[in-house]
Amino acid sequence: MRTGNYYDSERAASEYLLLHYGEPSPSPWPLTFPARCVAECVDAKRLPDAARALDLGCAVGGASFELARHCGEVIGIDASRQFIEIAQRLRERGEYGFQCCVEGELRRSHRVFVSPGMDRRRVTFETGDAMRLRGDLGTFDVVMMANLIDRVPDPRAMLGQLAALVNRGGQLIITSPYTWLREYTPRAKWLGGFERGGKPVRTFDVLKSILSPDFRLVKGRNIPFLIREHARKFQLGIAEASVWVRRSDVIDKR
């Protein structure tokens, strides 16, 4: 899952809290990326009563709380202890105060809130490694992996765990801008973003080849996101979102 000092820094906490829960001043596009991922990708009508959801690489928990609108139990897992501590405090109190950058060394206080009326008791958070998930997690009706596959050391191995996690007919949501970097993923483990035999290898094509035996692709879309660095600087990314349904016509590998 996410590794490195950035995800345990004050800067990362501020940037991800604003990405997940809202920005303190006007910006060209809305933040709250996780809420849009859930709203645009999860088919709530297909979910059974008391559905279970797994938010893998949950960061500070924005998507986990949004999944709780539709699911009776949500587990959020992230490798960053700082992110999980923040998410747990949001679960307990419904709000979190922090300092965000204005410019240079100037900071201002800001507070973010979990949406009113949300049953936060449905959500639990824990630190964990997406490459080595604990064996007693059980199975889920929704598994979300938002901007995670290009931040693990072996994405193919991580994806190989999914058929055992998603119930038949369950939904798998994967989003990523496909920012392959050697500091997170060894070059030999990239799913795409390179040439082989003189032909470009695209991440989404490899995703399809890995997932198609167990999952059926039902829709895809582009979801923009902004990471606010300070009051006048934002990183614009466009995540490709793909929604998959666990096949019912294959032999269960569990």
For the segment 238-248, what is each residue's pLDDT rounded down to a tens digit? 999 999 999 98
- Mind listing the pLDDT tens digit for each residue in 23-61? 655 565 566 899 999 999 999 999 999 999 999 999 999
Statement: residue 252 has pLDDT above 80: no
Say which residue, 164 or 8, is predicted with more confidence. Answer: 164
Alpha carbon distance 50, 148 (integer Å): 26
Alpha carbon distance 174, 72 (integer Å): 21
Report the chain's mean pLDDT, rounded to a whole number: 92
Alpha carbon distance 245, 173 (integer Å): 9
- Mind listing the pLDDT tens digit for each residue in 66-109? 999 999 999 999 999 999 999 999 999 999 999 999 999 999 99
- Mind listing the pLDDT tens digit for each residue in 140-189? 999 999 999 999 999 999 999 999 999 999 999 999 999 999 999 999 99
Model confidence, pTM: 0.92
Contacts of 19 (CB under 8 A, 6+ apart): 31, 32, 33, 34, 59, 62, 225, 226, 227, 228
